Amino acid sequence: MNDKRVFLTKHSPEYWRVTLNHPPLNIFGPKTIPQLSEIITAIETDKDLKVVVFDSAIDGFFMTHYDFLAKIEETTSLPPGPTGLQPLPDMLVRLSRASAVSIASIRGRATGVGSELALACDMRFASREKAILSHFEVGAGIVPGGGPMARLPRLMGRGRALEVFLGADDIPGDLAERYGYVNRSLPDAELDEFVEALANRIASFDKRAISETKRFVNVASLPPDYEIAPEWDVCLASIMRPAAQKRIGLLLERGFHKPGDVETRLGHHVGQLGSVNDQAQNHQIERK
């Protein structure tokens, strides 16, 4: 089986596209990390590149959650990246700081790590009808780990960020725009044309002017590493806790990690886990 899941297309020396293509759900896991990290290294070091667009080849999914079926050792055994951070937060930090401009073109679900990738990009544009952004993790007993708590409050404010994280529900494209989660939501039929036009426009400008402008915006807006570093460690620790293992197990029983209603309406299903737990506990009490 071909394990390649991240594809780079160079439209021109100045403008690249990175396409996520891991059917059927664009789940992200330890095998994807080195592939994406290699591309981000190329983005950082290419002398001509000015703008890169991230998109998806999978209908309904920009990028969804981390791979909970992979052994935890497959992730923890990966070495830290050049920043000294663990591999996932490392490559997201490097993307944010690269001199080239990064744009997320979101059609389908950007859930968990998919949202984290989008947040690490400089700009986010979403299909009004088809984009869904979310951080479901708290509903599954998990703490998000790729830096979203450091990034999202800077975009939408504390209260709305807490609503996203602690509500653990799906945020459609139009609401994501109102909250500041994305730059704009556009009618689905107009998304590709808009992003393509913006990318080509930026690619036509002077690279030094682009990179120096971005560098000053970064100073004013990007979180420092010490805010991002602990999130990953706490995320991994939370996954191993009994409460999270129980909730993940319930999700898997209902169809998590498989095409179907759980992955399509993940926000709805994590909201049902508490009532499922209560029902199971009550059933056990009745049997006793």
Q: Which residue type sits at 281? A: Q
Residues 155-189: pLDDT tens digits? Answer: 999 999 999 999 999 999 999 999 999 999 999 99
Question: Do the domain assignments include residue 150?
Answer: yes
Give alpha helix (H) positions in the chain: 32-45, 72-76, 87-97, 113-120, 148-156, 158-167, 173-179, 188-203, 207-221, 225-239, 242-254, 261-264, 266-270, 273-287
pLDDT of res. 52 = 98
| Contact in structure between 172 and 131 (CB atoms under 8 Å) | yes
Dig out the tokens for 36 from the structure: 């994406």
Dig out the tokens for 110 from the structure: 């950007």
Residue 3: is it exposed, middle or buried by C-beta count within 10 angstroms (0-12/13-18/19+)?
exposed
User: Which residues are CB-contacts of 222 (< 8 A; sequence separation ≥ 6)?
Assistant: 96, 97
> In angstroms, what CA-CA distances link 82 with 31, 32, 114, 173, 231?
18, 17, 22, 34, 18
Residues 49-86: pLDDT tens digits? Answer: 999 999 999 999 999 999 999 999 999 999 999 999 99
Question: Do the domain assignments include residue 197?
Answer: yes
Question: Do the domain assignments include residue 123?
Answer: yes
The rounded distance, in Å, linking the Cα atoms of 56 and 171 is: 19
CATH of the domain at 49: 3.90.226.10
User: pLDDT-based confidence at 275, cuts 50/70/90?
Assistant: confident
Question: Do the domain assignments include residue 250?
Answer: no
Q: Write down the residue that tokens 């990390």 correspond to.
A: 33
Question: Do the domain assignments include residue 151?
Answer: yes
Question: Do the domain assignments include residue 225?
Answer: yes
Note down the domain range covering 142.
Answer: 6-207+219-236
Question: Do the domain assignments include residue 110?
Answer: yes
Total number of domains constituting the chain: 1
Query: pTM for this one?
Result: 0.94
